[in-house]
Structure 1
Amino acid sequence: MTDTFPVDVVVSLLQAASAEQEADVDELLATVSLSRRDSVRIGQELRRLRATSDRWRRRGQELAALFSSARELAQLRDVDELLGRLVERAHDLMGTDVTYLSEYQEDSRELLVRTTLGTVAPSFPGLRVPPGMGLASRVVEGRRPCWTSSYATMTQAPHDSGIDSAVTAEGLVSMLGVPLLAGDEVIGVLFAANRVEHEFAPEEISLLSAFADHAAVVLQTARLLARTQDAADETRHAYGELARHVEAMERASEVHSELTGLVLQGSEASDVATALGRALRCEVTLLDVGRLEEPVATAVDRSRRSGRCTPTDGGYVVAVLAGATLLGALLLEPGEVPFGPVELRTAERAAQITALLNLKQDATIEAEQRVRSDLLADLLSADPERHADLATRARARGIRLDALRSVVVVALPAELRHEAVRGLRRESGLIGEYADHVIALTTDADPAAASTSVHATVGRTVRAPVLAVGAGFSDLDHDLRARIDAASACVGVLPALGLDDAAVTADAYLPYTALFGPGEPRVATYLRLVIGPLLDWDAAHAGKLVPTLAAYLGNRMSPVATARALHLHKNTVLQRLERTAELLGADWQEPDRLFRITVAVQLAHLTRGA
């Protein structure tokens, strides 16, 4: 006899088996007439079918979530962001306490914990796993999932004290690690871990492995894209550098051609700085070797030793050298064009051109100075034969002898005279060395103005005290020698009067020159002979006899006017005059003695002896 079931019961049993409808299998079987054995068998099969259905349904949900995560990850291109999202999705899929990813380091063969989720210990992120140590190394070596329900008692992989400390600090107990594979290459290990003991089911291992496979592909793709982007950026940078280099080479070629032209045209060194600044689109200054200040002077010294451009205050300096001699420096300040190797080499070549032009210019100046000095010597010579064609030779140098009106005699140490002549080369007139002095014949009709101008120029050039004495003349042939002698005699007397840096005229000091001529000792001897007792009294008593006598002589020998000029009482002036008479003698106001005393008092006043 065949057992039959109502259709409704069969449908309900199938629905219960598929888990589409919650139903009690035993209650459904009780509604039909079955033996106990058959009811048990049918119930077991129905429950197995329902478990299988549940498992496949859950598997389908997991796969759906897996593919959804894979699609989302595939849209990311930044590697760091991708790693963070990858761990986040794995954490959601597995539902474990902690999820983290360790990246494999090819150079050191270590594993570096790059991204974590759920960790609390600060020592865990960035943890390095040495080769061959811990569960992670076993995953790398075997290229397959590895897990443990109790890390502390794990024996299948060697322990490391650093890893154990980090795991203990995090409180991790059970761990599952799966490899991230790109072909045969392990690029990392993905971990899911719990803070309690847990036996990882095959479904969990399979799920994390499947996710790791998808993630590895996406991660490797992102890395390749990043490398491609880096390569593209490097290529663009290389093209940019090449273009800049070509542009710099073109500028260097242009400035080299221009500098060559400057040499051929006989230009000056300053023109090189102008051409270099125009080519490099920056400010270039030609520095004088005698006027370098810190920190530029230190940078120039370094450039002098190395022969190369040296940085200073955002710019560069390069020494201008002729052998070991420093002729100056070029200062390059930042401009539109960045200073690269080509620009710096261009500046160094410009410094060499500057040195060449300086040497050429110096040679020209030296030759011109020798010619002018010879011309001056011939002009001042007593030999008539040396005067032949003087006017013609002077005109060839751009000098009109008939326009010269003043002579300035400059007293300087011998080692400074040559430099002083170079400094005066731009002055109009005839300049040269003669009889241990620098002689300047100028067109200035005012000897005072001429001496002032020459004194200022020479002082700036040699940076030392300068005595310049001017004298006018009307006849070049008959007056010049006499006026030079007068100015030279004045130069000899001025130091005795306390002057070592001044611009004066010979006529202003003519009385003293006539009395003493050149030679300082005569002045001191004269002072001691005429008013020595007054000088000694003032020195011993802090007195004012000499100043009072000078005021008395300067106020027409009037005691009242003298007292008014010195802001003293008349009786004080009379007392000082009485003391003067005691020291010099009662006849001190006799005309001859009074003249000598007047000269001596004036000399004492000029020499600041009073």
Structure 2
Amino acid sequence: MKHELRLASSENLAGGTATNILRVASELVRVVSRTGSDLREVERTVIEILSATSELPVNAEEPGFHPALLALVREVAGQHEARDDRYRALLDTVADITSEDDPDRLLGGIADRARRLLRADVVYLWLAERDGEYAHLGATSGGMTSELLDLRVPAGMAMTGRIIESGMPLIVTRYFGDPNFVHFPDVDRVMEREKIVATVGVPLVNGSKRLGALIAANRDERAYTPADLDLLHSLAGHAAISIERSRLAEETKTALRSLEDANRELARSNAESERATTAHFTLSQVALAGGNIDNLVQEVVKIVGGELAVFDPDDRLLADVGDLSGTAQPPELIRQAALARTTQTSGSLVAIPILAAARLLGILYYQGDETPAKPDIQILERAAVVAALLLLLAEAEAGAAGFRRDDFIDDLLSGDEAPSRLIHRAAQLRMELRQPYTVHVVRAPLQQRRLAYLADEAAKIRGGLAGQSHILQRGNKSSVVALIPGNDPRSNSAELSSAIARAGRVTPSVAGAGPARAVAGVRELFDEAVTCSDAMERIQGGAMSGTLEDLGFVGLVLSNRPNVDRFVRTTLAPVARYDAAHHTELLSTLEALLATDGSPTAASEVLHVHVSTVKQRMQRLKDLLGDDWRTVDRTSELRLALKLHRLNQNTLEADA
């Protein structure tokens, strides 16, 4: 077998003896490595090399030659086997990491395999962030602390930053004294706790992409060899490909999930659009077919489910499907929607204002089994628009058919129309005649139509109505009549007067009577209110509100239905209640004073008490009856009330 010997010529022997020995040893190792394990071939080749490099003859029979040659062969073979074992392990590692799809397990597997291949104490796998400004720890194997997990290393800092930035490997014999990279305090602190001494690191590169760095470290002194570096570099190359493949796979999965979500959202959107189109057509048909609010509510519930009701601006129920009609008081959400003029939601509840321009026509109130989705709310809002159209149409139809307030009030007072018809017409005008209500006559120095409008606006707040009546005209002027729900004509008169005064900046005269139920006796109450209004105008100039009872004995005389007991109680009740509560005798003292023309001395003789006692009682009477209790008008009323009381001793029992 012919060999090309580098040291065959005498020129290769130039230099010192030590150099020659090293060259010969190197050539021997190289030749033995190439020759294989055939001892005879190795022996012949070695003799040729030694003969070419020595002036003395080489004798293969020299004692010790064959044992030395065998030791050389074994050493070279051992090194080859160790290298082969490491590369077989590398191939196994490559096979494992290329088959791993989970990103976290992939990074952890690379770190574990790198530590075993290099027999290192710790391995760190750092990943560069996409912007290249920082790197973070992707995985570690053999480390004793977790402080690096949340650490971000700036570009160019620490051994990691140096390797990623330069793209070159780095072997460090003593970590803390190495000047080849910029030390980063946070990393150095961890390295000190890990007691790291020697390190070797290579970049993770895939094509032109620098993905990170793979660094092996030992806690004792170790001189990493080029073979170690080559092995780690080979592993890093395959690892970078696997990491990039894993990243691309994850991005693909994310993109597919996004695409699936988009497809589902598109399908849902198409379904909602189709549902909304169907709802719009259905609701429009209700209006086009001449339907009403009840029909609309029923159709909406068929589409969105749940319970639905429509209230007018005064919280009166117009239509409903479900159990919402039993609501005693309107929910707060309805008031919020009416005030804000926008859709209000709270859990499964929705309140939507029904608007015509800036005018509030009512509230659409919905209660679902669960929180309604946005498409359902949009359908409800479409329903509110249709409801506004239906309410406006109903209002226009009511006016065109003669359901005007003026006509209704005239027909109510005349009694020429059937009660059921009047009740129905009142309902169209949002007035409930089946509940108690009071009748009022309103007068003020205003144009009658203006006064009627102000009275109607004020009455609507209480669920009533007002208009002009021509049943009883004063000259060329009609009467403004108001109907207000309630049992107390005095309180209703005061509230109506106050509301008109605020809106019209005028002090009206409001005379009340009642209460009435249904339509029976309304004309009598109207006549009583007119009588009261005439009397107030003559007595007080008209600028007051109240009932005939508030006019004292004048009202008692003028009333078509005089209530003596109520007159007595109204006049004397404060004194009677005080006597009952404090066991005093103010009522008898008042009677004695009136009988003696208000003289304390004469009254004390009648009562058989000291005059100072009478004076004290007079002060108490002033507190109870008012400062005018001794005027002529008041004393006349008090005398009459006392006389009527004496005629019927049980008159004040209810108050006593």
Q: Shorter-chain-normalised TM-score: which range?
A: 0.5 to 0.7
Residue number among 107, 124, 133 corresponding to 1:109 in the alignment: 133
Letter in 1 for 2:83: R
Report Cα offsets for 1:565-594 as digits up to 9, x if no partner.
Answer: xxxxxxxxxxxxx989xx9xxxxxxxx999
User: Any conservation in 2 of the 1:269–1:354 contact (CA below 8 Å)?
Assistant: yes
2:644 to 583, 596, 601: 596
Partner residue of 2:373 out of 334, 339, 347: 339
Picking from 208, 211, 223, the partner of 1:187 is 211
Specify whether residues 396 and 378 from structure 1 end up closer, same or farther in structure 2 by C-alpha distance, changes over 3 A only. Answer: closer
Match of 1:507 in 2: none
What is the CA-CA distance between 1:254 and the residue it aligns to? 0.8
Task: Tell me which of 434, 444, 459 is aligned to 1:417.
Answer: 459
User: Is this contact kept in 1: 2:423–2:518, CA < 8 A?
Assistant: no
Equivalent of 2:75, from 35, 39, 51? 51
Indicate the residue corresponding to 2:629 in structure 1: none
How many angstroms apart in 2 are the aligned matches of 1:531 and 1:333?
54
Distance (Å, rounded) in 2 between the aligned partners of 1:530 and 1:393 = 38
Residue type of the partner of 1:318? I
Aligned match for 1:436, one of 457, 478, 481: 481
The 5 A counterparts of 1:161-172 are 161-172=185-196
Which residue, 346, 354, 357 being the options, matches 2:387? 354
With over 3 angstroms needed to count, the CA separation of the structure-2 counterparts of 1:378 and 1:329, relative to structure 1, is: closer
CA separation of 1:293 and 1:136: change in aligned 2, threshold 3 A: same
- Counterpart in the other structure of 2:506: none
Q: Percent identity?
A: 25
The structural deviation recorded for 1:36 is 8.1
Contact 2:344 2:352 in 1 (8 A): yes
Q: Supply the distance in 2 between the matched residues of 1:191 and 1:351 (Cα, whole angstroms).
A: 69
In 1, the alpha carbon distance for the partners of 2:525 and 2:297 equals 44
CA shift at 1:50, angstroms?
2.3
Kept in 2, the 8 Å contact 1:409–1:437? The answer is no
Give the TM-score of the pair, scaled to structure 2. Answer: 0.59
Give the drift of 1:406.
Answer: 11
Asked if 2 retains the 8 angstrom alpha-carbon contact of 1:411 and 1:437, the reply is: yes
Aligned residues of 1:99 and 1:118 also touching (Cα < 8 A): yes
- SS of 1:129 mapped into structure 2: strand
Q: Output one character per residue of 1:237-262: Cα deviation in whole Å (capped at 9) or x when no partner.
A: 10000000000001110111112112
Residue equivalent to 1:572: none
1:91 aligns with 2:112: no
Residue type of the partner of 2:644?
Answer: R
User: Residues 528 and 560 of structure 2 are in contact (CA less than 8 Å); yes or no, is this contact kept in structure 1?
Assistant: no
Q: 1:487 to 1:254 in 2, by over 3 A?
A: same
Displacement of 1:117 after TM fit? Answer: 1.6
Cα deviation per residue 1:529-556 (whole Å; 9 max; x = unaligned)?
A: 9989995993896248989xxxxxxxxx
After the TM superposition, which residues 159-308 of structure 1 pair with which residues of structure 2 at under 5 Å, given as runs? 159-269=183-293, 271-286=295-310, 290=315, 292-294=330-332, 297-298=335-336, 304=341, 307=342
Shift of 1:596: 3.3
Do 2:462 and 2:484's aligned partners in 1 also have CA atoms closer than 8 Å? no
**1:65 and 2:113 are equivalent in the alignment:** no
Contact 1:277 1:283 (C-alpha < 8 Å) held by counterparts? yes
Query: What letter is aligned with 2:358?
Result: A
Question: RMSD over aligned Cα, in angstroms?
Answer: 5.3
Aligned length: 478
CA distance in 1, matches of 2:513, 2:84: 107
- Give me the whole-angstrom Cα distance separating, in 1, the residues matched to 2:370 and 2:381: 19
What SS is found at the alignment partner of 1:177?
strand
Name the counterpart of 2:516: 469
Q: What secondary structure is seen at the aligned counterpart in 1 of 2:215?
A: strand
Equivalent residue letter for 2:557: F
| Secondary structure, aligned partner of 1:50 | helix
CA deviation map 1:11-62 (0-9, x unaligned)? xxx9xx98999xxx9xxxxxxxx95895566555443432332222122222
- Specify the SS of the correspondent of 2:168: coil
Question: Structure 1 pair 602/235, CA: closer, same or farther in 2 (3 Å)?
Answer: same
| Structure 1 residue 125: Cα displacement | 2.3
Deviation at 1:472, TM superposition (A): 8.8
SS in structure 1 of the partner of residue 146 of structure 2: coil
1:365 CA displacement? 4.7
Q: CA deviation at 1:335?
A: 5.5
Equivalent pair of 1:124/1:170 in contact (CA under 8 Å): no
What letter is aligned with 2:212?
G
Tell me the equivalent position of 2:18: none
In the alignment, structure 1 segments of 5+ residues that lack a partner are: 1-13, 26-33, 382-386, 400-404, 425-432, 441-450, 474-478, 494-511, 548-577, 584-591
Preserved contact between residue 198 and residue 221 of structure 2 (Cα < 8 Å): yes
Cα separation, 2, equivalents of 1:293 and 1:97: 72
Q: Is the 8 A contact 1:73 1:85 kept in 2?
A: yes
Task: State the distance in 2 between where 1:227 and 1:407 align.
Answer: 72
Aligned-partner SS, 1:47: helix
CA–CA distance in structure 2, aligned partners of residues 360 and 378 of structure 1: 24
In the alignment, which residue of structure 2 is the partner of 1:569? none
- With over 3 angstroms needed to count, the CA separation of the structure-2 counterparts of 1:375 and 1:354, relative to structure 1, is closer
Alpha carbons 1:121, 1:170 under 8 Å: kept: yes
